[in-house]
Structure 1
Amino acid sequence: MKNLLVFLLLSAFVSACSQSKSKYITELSREDVETGVLLDVRTPREYNSGHIDEAINIDWLGKGFIEKAQALDKDKPVFVYCKKGGRSAEAARVLDSLGFKKVVDLKGGYDAYKAEAK
């Protein structure tokens, strides 16, 4: 628990200097998906009920998020989304602190993506 608290405090400090960016999920392009990593940080249950094609799932609320995320290519842009935008914003800050070159938080989340698709 102490390590988690230290990590969260460090993450908050680093996020003040964050290089992560954001854009609306409806602005996600085919090129973004083809050249980067599309990361869905919702729970597996949410992911299995529907997700954007080619998205990989690493549960922000689950065990081992950091370890699993570190296995991703840090040189590729990472486009992060969740249901509405809260979890993805936090995950984007952490990914940025882990040294990913470009992290983009997709604002509006999967709900906005689905609404646009209708």
Structure 2
Amino acid sequence: MITSWKNLSLLSYLLLALMTASCQSSSNTDSNNEGFQDLNVAEFKQKMETRGVVVLDVRTPEETAEGMITGAQELDFRAPDFQEQLGKLDPDKTYLVYCRSGGRSSSACSMMEGMGFKSVYNLVGGYQGWSAEN
């Protein structure tokens, strides 16, 4: 009986330590604004109203020919010089990034994060989600 109480006590301690570490980790990420953040269409639209943001469409020229978000800058994710083109952008600006459905833009946001971009947002659902709500 005493052994099971010790095991229960140790298990409780470990669980509490894990929960505390998890909370600290997520609060550090939020407060430092590190990494990129996923936004739904409404949140993306709201961010677009912020002065100085750059909207990046990372779809192919064929895809953008079918329609795009007004004012977006085209930068083809599949182009061989995509990362080089990203390197020409100002890493201190705020970027709202989208593709067709959210996969390439998420990858682009990760690349941008790795390159030192400070404020990057990904449109969840991409242009398909945008079109469905607009």
Task: Give the Cα–Cα distance (whole angstroms) in 1 for the partners of residues 84 and 64 of structure 2.
Answer: 19
1:22 is the counterpart of 2:38: yes
Contact 2:92–2:118 under 8 Å retained in 1: yes
Report which of the two structures shows the higher radius of gyration computed on alpha carbons. Answer: 2
For structure 1, the residue ranges without an aligned partner over 5 or more in a row are: 1-16
Please list the CA deviations of residues 77-111 of structure 1 after superposition, one character each: whole Å capped at 9, or x if unmatched. Answer: 11110011111111100011011111111111001
Aligned to 1:68: 85
Q: State the identity as a percent.
A: 38
Picking from 54, 60, 63, the partner of 1:37 is 54
Q: Which runs of 4+ in 1 moved over 6 A?
A: none
Contact 1:26–1:112 under 8 Å retained in 2: no
| Structure with more of its chain in helix, by fraction | 2
Please list the CA deviations of residues 49-91 of structure 1 after superposition, one character each: whole Å capped at 9, or x if unmatched. Answer: 1000110111111110011111112111111100111111111
Equivalenced residues, count:
100
Superposed CA RMSD: 1.6
TM-score, scaled relative to structure 1: 0.78
SS of 1:51 mapped into structure 2: coil
For structure 2, the residue ranges without an aligned partner over 5 or more in a row are: 1-28
Q: Which has the higher contact order (CA 8 A, sep 6+)?
A: 1
TM-score, scaled relative to structure 2: 0.69
Picking from 43, 50, 64, the partner of 1:47 is 64
